[in-house]
Amino acid sequence: MKVLIVYAHPEPKSFNAALKDTAIQTLKQEGHKVKVSDLYEMNFNPVAQKEDFTELSDKAFFKYAKEQQHSYQNDTLNPVIKEEFEKLLWADFVIFQFPLWWFSVPAILKGWFDKVLLFSGVYGGEYGRYNEARLTDKLAMISTTTGSPEGSYASNGFSGDIHEQILFHINHGMFYFTGMTPLEPFVAYTVSHSEEDRKNYLKEFEEKLKNIEQIKRIEYPKLEAFDENGQLKS
């Protein structure tokens, strides 16, 4: 399997870095091919802006999706973004390793989604959305760390339900929107509090990645299940 790890943490000695290193080592041992996008090391610029394109189709009105389409069709995408896009197309499985900041991804990783998930390159244009988008041959998985304890992320917890309320905008809105099948996230809760917890989580992560086929897939309804108003047919 070809695996891309998109990694976002500013500290190389962090637990997120340890999870990323565990993933690289485990996946390689299992015979997978691995590429890594270390966004902090790359000094990745997350701001969607005119400089993301080497030419603009409309200099008078900057519409990001339109310029993504133009640059995709004319091969005028900024080389840094193009390389990320090509890594994404290469991969069978994409792992996003990041600390949960404000119940979402760090800004540097949000910019990766804003910039690399190209309109007309992965959805729109000749492609549709969700199960009609381009990346239906790929799996995607969140691997993240939290500040609040596990109980608070359960249904009726004070943080909100980790799956239905918090990570939905990523699993459904980013992964599934582009066609990818989301795998059940790997969440390490409040790891900064205990060395033993950290060891156990690394071991658990390793075991998980040795058995990718057994990781639960998150199933969302296909587009054909919805009526012309965008509502589930009853």
Q: Residue 88 burial by CB count (10 A; 0-12/13-18/19+): exposed, middle or buried?
A: buried
Q: Is 65 or 89 the residue whose CB approaches a copy of itself more closely?
A: 65
Give the Cα separation of 131 and 27 in Å (integer). 27
Residue 38 vs 206, nearer CB to a copy of itself: 38
d(CA 55, CA 174): 27
Q: What minimum distance in Å lies between the beta carbon of 94 and a copy of itself?
A: 15
Q: Could you tell me how many residues make up the chain?
A: 234
Long-range pairs, 86-89, Cβ under 8 A, ≥24? 87/4, 87/35, 87/37, 88/4, 88/116, 88/122, 88/135
User: Minimum CB separation from a copy of itself for residue 164, in Å?
Assistant: 7
Please identify, using beta-carbon distances, which residue of 23 and 166 lies nearer to a copy of itself.
166
Give the nearer residue to a copy of itself in terms of CB position, either 89 or 154.
154
Q: Considering beta carbons, is residue 52 or 139 the nearer one to a copy of itself?
A: 52
Q: Which of 109, 111, 124, 16 is nearest to 65 (CA)?
A: 124
Could you tell me the smallest distance in angstroms from the CB atom of residue 119 to a copy of itself? Answer: 9
Please list the residues that pair with 145 across neighbouring strands: 99, 188
Task: Find out whether 189 and 159 touch, Cβ atoms under 8 Å.
Answer: no
Closest separation in Å from C-beta 80 to a copy of itself? 14
Residues that bind a copy of itself (CB under 8 A): 10-11, 13-14, 40, 45-50, 61-65, 101-108, 110-111, 113-114, 117, 130, 147-149, 151-154, 156-160, 164-166, 168-169, 172-174, 177, 221, 223, 226, 229-232
Output the smallest distance, CB 220 to a copy of itself, in A: 9
Whether residue 218 contacts residue 141, with contact meaning beta carbons closer than 8 Å, is answered with no
